[in-house]
């Protein structure tokens, strides 16, 4: 493996160069994402950097040599001469300073001011690599030079002028270079830097307040126009996103209360309109959605009881209609005994007993008791008639046999 710094050929297992001690960058094989440039494992279906699919024809299968540098932050493959990542701006671990080789740039007490002027010139030209390199040479001679650290900070943030530091999107007081400047700088520079940090924080705070106020007003407007439980629940989520701003937490609770009230009233409406087992089960499910609101638990029990009653009613109606079907009648009310007897005349005793048994099982339903007693009475009359006719039939049969006997003599 060839060292990217000195060119020495090392064994493939080496981690550091045997000649200069530089950490070696091993070749990377994989699939380069066509969107963000990150190198992914060959087995990956989606990019680890941006989440885009790697199955398209644009995905490039590559083997990256030591002449390329992978960004430690985003994985983008950069040219070996790059100092910063071309994708995310991260400083590369072994960015090339090849162009400075042989220049013998050595800082001394006398030339430090000149080197700092060169740093300013490089920053103005946006040559961040050169600016950082010259600052490093100054720090090689004077490790506590605040201006050199300040130059590195400017290079790190890619700022051409000092005043533009306040235009940074976020405060930079967590930067190592910033901390070094604050450690070694005079009070004037320290005050300026802390002033920039304060300015950024105040500006961001104002912008954040504007953003929160905009979201708050949007949520208030949505709350005033909400008409359904879903509307109020959606507005509740909006207030929860800014829960620490103004009375957003209270507004979120109010939205939930409104949603529960609407859901409860809807369940109550369904219950009052119910006229079947299915209807009451439906109303019960609506109350279960707001089970801890008002008397929903009580209403659930009432719906269960009503559903049970309607189920029993339905079963009894089916039995009642079955009895009518056996007799081939639409109903018994208003029919005379003779008419009912006509319905029973073609039935066997077992079928008549089945009808009586059905009415007996639903004796408290409609006129089942009355009809059961009526059919029992008719059956009894039928049995009595049969009992009266049977002896007469015996006599007739006997007479007929006797007559035949006489004629045969």
What's residue 98's pLDDT? 59
What's residue 292's pLDDT? 94
Task: Please tell me the pTM assigned to this model.
Answer: 0.52
What's residue 390's pLDDT? 66
Residue % of the chain over a pLDDT of 90: 47
Mean pLDDT value of segment 102-122 = 85
pLDDT at 95 over 60: no
What's residue 161's pLDDT? 94
What's residue 409's pLDDT? 64
For the stretch 339-376, pLDDT in tens is: 776 767 777 888 888 888 988 888 888 888 888 888 88
What's residue 258's pLDDT? 97
For the chain, which residues make up each domain, given as ranges? 97-185, 208-273, 320-402
Q: What is the average pLDDT value for the chain, to the nearest integer?
A: 83
Please give, one letter per residue, the 3-state secondary structure of the chain. Answer: CECCCCCCECCCCCCECCCCCCECCCCEEEEECCCCCEEECCCCCECCCCCCECCCCCCEEEEECCCEEECCCCCEEEECCCCECCCCCCECCCCCCHHHCCCCCCCCCCCHHHHHHHHHHHHHCCCHHHHHHHHHHHHHHCCCCHHHHHHHHHHHHCCCCHHHHHHCCCCCCCCHHHHHHHHHCCHHHHHHHHHHHHHHHHHHHHHHHHHHHHHHHHHHHHHHHCCCHHHHHHHHHHHHHCCCCCCHHHHHHHHHHHHHHHHHHHHHHHHHHCCCHHHHHHHHHHHHCCCCCCCHHHHHHHHHHHHHHHHHHHHHHHHHHHHHHHHCCCCCCCCCHHHHHHHHHCCCHHHHHHHHHHHHHCCCCCCHHHHHHHHHHHHHHHHHHHHHHHHHHHHHHHHHHHHHHHHCC
For the stretch 255-291, pLDDT in tens is: 999 999 999 999 999 999 999 999 999 999 999 999 9
What's residue 187's pLDDT? 95
């Amino acid at each position: 493996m060839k060292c990217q710094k000195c060119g020495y050929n090392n064994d493939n297992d080496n981690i550091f160069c045997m000649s200069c001690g530089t950490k070696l960058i091993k070749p990377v094989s994989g699939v380069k994402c066509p969107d963000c440039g990150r190198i992914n494992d060959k087995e990956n279906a989606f990019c680890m950097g941006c989440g885009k699919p790697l199955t398209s024809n644009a995905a490039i299968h590559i083997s990256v040599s030591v002449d390329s540098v992978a960004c430690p932050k985003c994985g983008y493959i950069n040219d070996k001469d790059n100092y910063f990542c071309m994708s995310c701006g991260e400083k590369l671990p072994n960015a090339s300073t090849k162009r400075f080789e042989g220049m013998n740039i050595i800082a001394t007490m006398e030339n430090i001011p000149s080197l700092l002027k060169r740093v300013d010139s490089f920053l103005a030209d946006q040559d961040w690599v050169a600016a950082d390199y010259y600052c490093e040479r100054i720090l090689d001679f004077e490790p506590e030079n605040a201006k050199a650290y300040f130059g590195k900070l400017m290079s790190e943030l890619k700022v051409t002028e000092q005043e533009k530091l306040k235009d940074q999107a976020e405060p930079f007081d967590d930067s190592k270079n910033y901390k070094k400047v604050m450690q070694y700088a005079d009070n004037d520079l320290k005050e300026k830097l802390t002033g920039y940090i304060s300015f950024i924080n105040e500006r961001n705070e104002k912008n954040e307040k504007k953003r929160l106020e905009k979201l708050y007003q949007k949520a208030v407007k949505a709350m005033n126009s909400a008409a359904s439980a879903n509307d109020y629940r959606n507005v509740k989520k909006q207030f929860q996103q800014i829960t620490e701003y103004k009375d957003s937490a209270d507004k979120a609770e109010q939205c939930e209360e409104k949603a529960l009230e609407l859901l409860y009233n809807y369940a109550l409406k369904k219950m009052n309109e119910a006229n079947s087992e299915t209807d009451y089960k439906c109303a019960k499910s609506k109350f279960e959605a707001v089970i801890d609101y008002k008397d929903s638990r009580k209403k659930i029990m009432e719906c269960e009881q009503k559903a049970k009653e309607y189920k029993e009613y339905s079963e009894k109606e089916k039995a009642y209609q079955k009895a009518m079907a056996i007799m081939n009648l639409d109903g018994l009310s208003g029919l005379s005994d003779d008419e009912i007897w006509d319905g029973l005349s073609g039935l066997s005793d077992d079928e008549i007993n089945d009808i009586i048994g059905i009415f007996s099982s639903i004796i408290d339903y409609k006129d089942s008791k009355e009809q059961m007693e009526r059919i029992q009475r008719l059956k009894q009359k039928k049995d009595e008639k049969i009992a009266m006719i049977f002896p007469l039939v015996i006599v007739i049969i006997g007479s007929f046999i006797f007559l035949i006997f006489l004629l045969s003599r």
